[in-house]
Structures are given as C-alpha cells and as structure tokens.
Amino acid sequence: MRVVSGIQPTGNLHLGNYLGAIRRWATMQDSIEGEGGECIFFLADLHAITVFNDPAELRANVNGMAAALIACGIDPDRSILFNQARVPAHAELAWILNCTARMGWLGRMTQWKDKAGKNREGASVGLFAYPVLQAADVLLYQATHVPVGEDQKQHLELARDIATKFNTDYGVELFTLPEPHIGKDAARIMSLRDGSAKMSKSDPSDMSRINLTDDDDAIVQKIRKAKTDPAPLPDSWDELADRPEARNLVAIYAALTDRTPQSVLEDHAGQGFGAFKPALAELLVQTIAPIRSRLAAFSADPAAIDAILAKGSARAADIAAPTLAGAYQALGLPR
C-alpha cells in the first residue's frame, strides 16, 4: 500500500481541505503503520505556478503549508513530506506524460474550464497541462491510494487513463493504476456564503471559509453569519436535499464528530439555526484551537521546516528514481 497526495501551497489551509483530505491523510498515516507501505505527502508548488504567484509569497506559503500539515498530524518521521520543486522527477515525468495525454482529455477537465473561464487563449499552457503533472505526481510513486476531496476525482480518473495508455502503447506494466480515496460525507465542503459553491482558497470573501488560522472569535462570527434558511432542522437527511446551506452545516457537524449526518439530525431535529449554529461553532473551536496553536509553534522555526522538506525530498527522489528510469527505458531514450 502506498498513499500519495498533495496540496497547493497557496493561501491558508481551510476546513474543506482539512475535512476533505488532510484529516484522512493523518488517519491513513496512523493506520498504515505495521501494514508495510508508506505515506508520501507533498506541497504542489509546481502546480501553484500555473497561475501567477508572487515569489516571496509562494516561498513563505510552502513553509507555512508544511507547518500546517504537521500541525494537523502529519508526522515527518513517519510520512514523507516534501515540496515538488525539490524533486525534479515530477517535472520530468510530467513532460513524458504530456506526450501520452490527449488534448481532448484535458479539454474536458471541469477544473480547467472553470479556471480558464472565457479567457482560454490567455491561460498558461501549464494550467491546461496541470492534470498531467498531477498524474506524474502519483504514478511516479506507484501510488495505490490517493486520498482527496471530490473535486480531484476527475483528475485521478485521467491519471488512470494516462497510465493505461502509456502501459499499452509501450507494451509495459510500468505504472500502477491509482485508486482515488474519497471520504463520504465531507468530500465536498461548501462555501458558508453559497451552498452551491465549494469552500475554496480562491473565494474573494474570507467569510466563505473557515481557515485553520482563524481565532475563536472569527470562527464564531463566520458560523453566526453563515447563510441558512429559516426552517428548523428535519429528522431525516433526505429532507435536506433542497437546502444546500443547511446540508453543509450538518455535514460539517457530522464530520467533526465522526458521525453520520442522519444521526446528527436525529439529535437536533426541530432545532432552528439559532440553536444549532452555536453548537457547531463550539465544535469547530475545539477542533481548530489546538491545530492553530501547534501551527504557531512550528511556524516560528522556518529552518526546521526547511530541513524536514529537504530530507523528505531526498527520500521521495529515491523512491521515484526506478519508475522514472523505467519510463525512459520504455520510450527507448538513452541516458
């Protein structure tokens, strides 16, 4: 079993990242012990540059995001933690796989369509080829499990298509087909201001998301102001089908308490949001406060973070080397 996943080092870690992915990275890290195999987690800084990023900010964000992952329970002694730019094999394999992926496949990616919008001619080639780099990220390590939120599912299906085509074209069994590992109820945490948009780092309104750096007051305020409707909570999850904002808050509550949304509703049925929101805010404060204080402690020592990433990247490069060599060999490229 080999678990591989990444996160872009832009902005702060938010509740969607945490419940949709990072918290599960930490549980997988804990459960893999004794089973053999390893967890490989990285900061996707090469993905971040597909749109313009201020270099000084990006540099700070790489360290900041690494500290945030450690604060969430990723242990650099047990998991391999690094940033992509330090392991050139990612960019190398991405180039090779650019020659396997088809324009049509990439053109169908919903994230490309959303991000490029109407300005496709002005988008970077990197933004278009973004999912190919993501395929390289997982194929390089023969990943078996890739824990991600729902929004990354299409990219991972593409990685499987690219792996299959490469293996077939060159008559090799080089790449393992990765399995997306998507949680059930927290796979898509929505914006607090609009139940039809996912919670995202790029939303201009900070009120739309809970950041893991938010202080207790900010968390309480954001939940108090979260968009809802006037109806009380029903006793069945199905009845929330047409109430996306209410559904989102119940799903967050359920994820934080490791329960099903249905069982949360059974306890809170008949309650209005005037009562439910403070309970949810309290839970969030309890979850986030310890992460925030660990994060502050780690952030105070950027040299230590840098050393962790340097060590992680050396371990990652060793694991990646045979697969990259296998790809060059399959292609008939002497080195």
Q: Known binding site for L-tryptophan: residues?
A: 137
Which residue, 249 or 333, is less far from ligand TYM as judged by CB?
Answer: 249
* Residue 171, CB-side half-sphere exposure with 13 Å CA sphere: 1
Given the residues 113, 115, 118, 225, select the one marked as catalytic: 115
Report the nearest approach of ligand TYM to the CB of residue 171 (Å).
Answer: 26
Residues in the annotated binding site for ATP: 8-10, 16-17, 149-151, 189, 198-202
Q: Is 153 a catalytic residue?
A: no
8 Å CB contact between 219 and 212: no
Q: Is 311 a catalytic residue?
A: no
Q: Is 115 a catalytic residue?
A: yes
Report the nearest approach of ligand TYM to the CB of residue 270 (Å).
Answer: 28
Which residue, 6 or 312, is less far from ligand TYM as judged by CB?
Answer: 6
Give the position of tokens 């190398």: 92
Which residue, 259 or 271, is less far from ligand TYM as judged by CB?
Answer: 259
Which residue, 176 or 329, is less far from ligand TYM as judged by CB?
Answer: 176
Residues near ligand TYM (CB under 6 A): 5-8, 16-17, 20-21, 44, 47, 134, 137-138, 146, 148-149, 151-152, 187-189, 198-200
Which residue, 5 or 29, is less far from ligand TYM as judged by CB?
Answer: 5
Report the nearest approach of ligand TYM to the CB of residue 244 (Å).
Answer: 13
Given the residues 153, 165, 201, 311, select the one marked as catalytic: 201
Give the position of tokens 């599960």: 24
Residues in the annotated binding site: 8-10, 16-17, 137, 149-151, 189, 198-202
- In this chain, which residue has its C-beta nearest to ligand TYM? 20
Report the nearest approach of ligand TYM to the CB of residue 8 (Å).
Answer: 4
The packing angle between helices 244-257 and 273-299, to 10°, is 50
Given the residues 198, 222, 227, 277, select the one marked as catalytic: 198
Report the nearest approach of ligand TYM to the CB of residue 185 (Å).
Answer: 10
Phi, psi of 284 (to 5 degrees): -65, -45
Report the nearest approach of ligand TYM to the CB of residue 294 (Å).
Answer: 19
Which residue, 201 or 234, is less far from ligand TYM as judged by CB?
Answer: 201
C-alpha distance from residue 272 to each of 11, 114, 245 (Å)? 33, 35, 13
Q: Which residues are catalytic?
A: 115, 198, 201
